[in-house]
């Protein structure tokens, strides 16, 4: 427990599970009230919310399919009504169809880009006035991943969308710096979450072993590792850091990686 985020209000999209849930709890541990967002997994969102309240912080749960601009508008109207301001925004929600490029249909690509790239544009447009109203330095955190710079099987759709997120991070940082809003990107390596297990299916155990060998810190990442980095970048201590991509990967990006070993 720290007071690094004392009295901040934080929105974490996709906080019904995995990294988003861990970030919601870490931010609450650091003193922030948290807006928990989910798409379908209401039970997960309720569990996250209970965890925030157990940490003595206020919580609001919002539901939206972030592929839909009208649902994004609805969420921000609720946040405006409930809190009237926002200090931290972590754009964490993601999903895709894991397919080879040759099998990808236009709707697969459009949905991935609409959830991950277009929603970043539309949500940040709604976040900025709420941050300006707060009067504090604003903090926007995006989430990319290992697959923007390293090739992973069936990952082109998500990897290219996350590449766009990294580029947007730099443009938003440039545009919002004069408003005292920093924008940085967390790039996790292999983190043990439901989605990593779903992506890898029966290859997860092999990946775990290979990734552990290829990681200087000799273990897979945990959601809490990314969550703690999020707290750091959201805190005053990171006030002069903007437009950067921070790898949270135990050093796996320093090696040639384990992915070739698990192809096929
Ligand atoms: N896990 C890894 O190894 C890893 C590695 C690199 C990067 N990342 C990135 O880290 C972030 C979190 O990853 P994770 O593994 O924790 O993800 P996850 O467990 O799959 O959770 C994804 C979250 O996104 C939400 N979501 C999915 N589709 C949505 C939609 N259409 N509209 C709104 N919300 C939607 C889900 O909501 P519901 O639960 O309500 O459906 C869930 O809360 C993602 O951006 C991911 O790309 C993860």
pLDDT for the residue 258: 63
Q: Is position 2 within any domain? A: no
Q: Taking the mean position of all CA atoms in its chain, how far away is CA 95?
A: 11
Q: Is the pLDDT of residue 264 over 60?
A: no
Q: Looking at the chain, which runs of residues are DSSP E strands?
A: 9-12, 33-38, 59-63, 88-91, 138-143, 181-188, 245-248
Whether the model clears a pTM of 0.85, i.e. scores above it, the answer is: yes
Structural domain boundaries enclosing 231: 9-262
Residue 242 lies in a domain: yes
Rounded mean pLDDT, 142-158: 94
In a domain, 208, yes or no: yes
10-31 per-position pLDDT tens digit:
999 999 999 999 999 999 999 9
Contact 182, 138 (CB under 8 A): yes
Is residue 66 lining ligand 1, measured as CB closer than 6 Å? yes
Q: Cα dist. 232→35, 96, 215, 227, 228 in Å?
A: 19, 28, 22, 9, 6
With a 6 A CB cut-off, is 145 part of the ligand 1 pocket? yes
Output the pLDDT for position 2: 87
Domain of residue 177, CATH code = 3.40.50.720
Cβ–ligand 1 distance for 211 under 6 Å, the answer no
pLDDT at site 200 = 85
The string of pLDDT tens digits covering residues 216-251 is: 999 999 999 999 999 999 999 999 999 999 999 999
Q: What is the mean pLDDT of residues 73-81?
A: 98
Of all protein residues, whose CA lies closest to atom 34 belonging to ligand 1?
A: 39
Provide the domain count of the chain: 1
Q: 155 catalytic, yes or no?
A: yes
Distance, CA 94 to ligand 1 centroid (Å)?
4
């Amino acid at each position: 427990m720290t007071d690094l985020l004392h009295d901040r209000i934080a929105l974490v999209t996709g906080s019904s599970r995995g990294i988003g849930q861990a970030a919601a709890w870490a931010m609450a541990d650091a003193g922030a009230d948290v807006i928990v967002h989910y798409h379908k997994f209401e039970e997960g969102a309720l569990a996250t919310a209970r965890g925030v309240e157990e940490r003595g912080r206020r919580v609001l749960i919002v539901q939206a399919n972030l592929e839909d601009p009208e649902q994004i508008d609805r969420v921000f109207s609720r946040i405006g009504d409930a809190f009237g301001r926002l200090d931290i925004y972590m754009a964490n929600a993601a999903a895709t169809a894991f397919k080879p490029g040759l099998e990808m249909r236009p709707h697969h690509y459009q949905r991935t880009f609409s959830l991950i790239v277009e929603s970043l544009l539309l949500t940040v447009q709604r976040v900025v006035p709420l941050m300006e109203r707060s009067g504090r330095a604003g903090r926007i955190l995006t989430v990319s991943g290992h697959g923007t710079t390293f090739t992973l099987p069936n990952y082109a759709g998500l990897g290219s969308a996350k590449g766009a997120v990294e580029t947007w991070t730099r443009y938003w940082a440039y545009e919002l710096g004069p408003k005292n809003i920093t924008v940085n990107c967390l790039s996790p390596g292999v983190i043990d979450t439901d989605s990593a297990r779903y992506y890898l299916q029966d290859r997860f155990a092999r990946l775990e072993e290979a990734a552990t060998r290829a990681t200087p810190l000799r273990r897979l990442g945990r959601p809490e590792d990314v969550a703690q980095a999020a707290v750091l970048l959201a805190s005053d201590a990171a006030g002069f850091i903007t437009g950067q991509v921070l790898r949270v990967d135990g050093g796996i990006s320093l090696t040639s990686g384990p992915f070739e070993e698990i192809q096929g």
